[in-house]
A and B are shown apart, each in its own frame.
Chain A
Amino acid sequence: MIEARALGARVGGFALADVSFTVPRGGYGVVIGPAGSGKTTLLETIAGITPMTSGTLTLDGQDAKGLAPEQRRVGFVYQHGYLFPHLSVEENVAYGAPDAAAALVIARRIGAAELFGRAVRGLSGGERQLVAISRALATRPTVLLLDEPFSALDPRRRSIVRGEVRTLHRELGLTVLQVTHDFAEAGLLGDVAILLDRGRVLQSGPPEVVFQKPATPYVAEFLGAENVFAGEVRVLPELPPDWLPGESGELTHENKAIEFRTGRMTIYTVGDGVPGPAHAIIRAGEVVLSHDPALSSARNRFVGKVSEIATLGALTRVTLDVGGTPLVASLTTRSARDLGIRAGDQMWASFKAMAVHLC
């Protein structure tokens, strides 16, 4: 388990401040954040490489303050591996291992054993990462800290190694905290996502919650939410008469029907929103496009003009101008082709009330 409470650390002019999160024992935490947000500093503070200046840090129930890095049973894999160039690959993997056999077992699992006998200086970036991961795991740590460990691997190898690390994490009961800038990876691997910016935690929790319900517009935009609107929330005193029967089940005593106005758009949603200024976030994947308004039963429907079409491989992003407000929809390129979407077309965009997240 990694439990940080109001954790602080300082490196030169950069400060990590008031960082709090919990990765349960055997859990997989993912740290996401822009460059310079303090992701590596956070891992180094947990490892004991950078001294903590405030707060508490508990590793597997033990207070880590005052514990030297070698006493923490923490494995650390840097993005660039930091393999010892004066040692062979085999010696690197066995560096902190209890015995050579244990090192070999781990190296075989990760795919680094085939590199034994090679000189460290001749390894590619991906191969270095494989050796570095093996070296860290060979020490049998209870906590594994990974600083973008798969970034130099090709997509096929990344998928294999990611799966192997996940399997080892489960088998060995490791608590893992991994830094990544890949949101898909964060969703695939993480039990807990920690969003860091300028040395502070913006939001932490299950990845699906962080991604679907970002705490702030900044978080939403950072996580790639395409539609973030500033506007005004109005709580509807009673269910509006035109509320669709299919969605009425969502309206429990905890949820209120909400009207959100932004520009010329009026968006309906449900939740525990407070009247006043707020932001509405709608993932582009939740927005459905059609030429015919009758094809959708969603609560929110808007007509607009296609202002931009961007094809990104299998996905196409279509921007609709709704009375001066851009609304982005994401659909498969095949669907976009079937719909025959062209710039300047008039189309209908619709999304369900439950697809709207207010913050």
Chain B
Amino acid sequence: MPYRTVTATHRLATVLAALGGSLLLVFLAAPLAQLVGSSGVSGLARLGVDAELRSALGLTAVTATAATLLGIAGGTPIAYLLDRRDLHGKSILAALLDLPLLVPHPVAGIALLLVLGRQSAVGGALLSAGLRVVGSPFGIVCAMLFVSSPLYVSAAREAFGRVDTRFESVARTLGDTPWRAFRRVTLPLSLRGLIAAAVVMWARAVSEFGAIVILTYNPKVASVLSYDRFTSFGLSEALPVAAVLVLLAFLPLLALRALRAERGAGVTA
């Protein structure tokens, strides 16, 4: 092919790629920018006077944090085993863990209701033990845990995968038991990745709506409150709440950027 034709094709491809990328960027950014631009200030101002909004934000933060802590406690060993061990049925286990990410979230809520509802064996047992799932903060935590913990497991597995197993091997030859080698070597070396995984899970938990609304409409988390304001009072009342949620979403985003900037390209010899 003549050089001139190659150059022309290259230019055309570059223009098309730039156009496609720009359109997607505008598509993603425009609604959020419009939302924050039109109602960001009033939303922040609303924080001072709207007790229900403050309460919803507080409940969201507390339940998302509780769900994340539970996800860390259960997900870290699973992520480690998936990365480090040749388990039978490892791919099936990994697929099962990804499944909640693919299920529509209201469906996830219905599934949880089946297992944890008053009529279910588990839900009934929990209720008799004084722990109500449906219509309680605990229900919110369960919904958040279900939809967001797979993200933690996946990212934590990646974090462990970035640490060469030979670091552990060396620690073992230097006298460490497997647990001690994990605590002294693997955990510190993967810590930033694990924190990043936890931030991703927390952010996903905060933004959850579909599963929560099935299990616990009241007390309201922020996402349910914005929906409630929209359906009860219209767009004008929903906008400030929605704008505050978008602004708060920047916090985990900034934390992630900072962690990734420091994390570098993996931990090898």
- Which residues of chain A have a CB within 8 Å of any CB of chain B? 44, 47-49, 68-70, 72, 74-76, 78, 80-86, 95-96, 128, 135-136, 139
Contact count A vs B, C-beta below 8 Å: 62
Q: Is B118 part of the contact surface with A, judged by Cβ < 8 Å?
A: no
B188 and A69 within 8 A (CB): no
Q: Which of B92-109 contact A (CB under 8 A)?
A: none
Q: Is B81 part of the contact surface with A, judged by Cβ < 8 Å?
A: no
Which of B31-39, B152-160, B161-169, B216-224 binds A? B161-169
**C-alpha gap A270/B172 in the complex (Å):** 52
Contact of B173 among A47, A85, A128 (CB under 8 A): A47
Q: Which of B166-206 contact A (CB under 8 A)?
A: 166-167, 169-177, 185, 188-189
Contacts of A96 in B (CB 8 A): 173-176
Count contacts on B: residues with CB < 8 A to the other chain: 18
Contacts of B73 in A (CB 8 A): none
Which residue of B is nearest A139, CB measured? Answer: B174
For residue A83, give the distance in angstroms from its CB to the closest CB of chain B: 8
B177 and A68 within 8 A (CB): yes
A86 and B189 within 8 A (CB): yes
**C-alpha gap A84/B174 in the complex (Å):** 12
Known contacts A78-B166, A78-B269: does B185 contact A84 (CB below 8 Å)?
yes
B173 and A82 within 8 A (CB): no
**C-alpha gap A68/B189 in the complex (Å):** 23
**C-alpha gap A48/B172 in the complex (Å):** 9
10 shortest interchain CB distances as A-B pairs: A96-B174, A80-B269, A69-B172, A76-B173, A49-B169, A96-B175, A86-B188, A82-B269, A82-B170, A70-B175
> A49-B172, A69-B173 are known contacts; what are 7 more A-B pairs with Cβ within 8 Å?
A68-B172, A68-B177, A72-B173, A75-B174, A78-B269, A81-B269, A82-B169
**C-alpha gap A335/B182 in the complex (Å):** 61
Secondary structure at chain A's binding surface: helix, strand, loop or mixed?
A: loop
Contacts of A74 in B (CB 8 A): 173
Contact of B164 among A68, A70, A76, A82 (CB under 8 A): A82
For residue A132, give the distance in angstroms from its CB to the closest CB of chain B: 8
Known contacts A70-B175, A82-B269, A96-B174: does B169 contact A76 (CB below 8 Å)?
yes
**C-alpha gap A70/B171 in the complex (Å):** 8
**C-alpha gap A136/B166 in the complex (Å):** 14
Q: What are some 21 contacts across the A-B interface (CB < 8 A)?
A: A47-B172, A47-B173, A48-B172, A49-B173, A69-B173, A70-B172, A70-B174, A70-B176, A70-B177, A74-B173, A76-B170, A78-B269, A82-B166, A82-B169, A82-B269, A84-B171, A85-B189, A86-B189, A95-B174, A96-B174, A139-B175
Q: Is B267 part of the contact surface with A, judged by Cβ < 8 Å?
A: yes
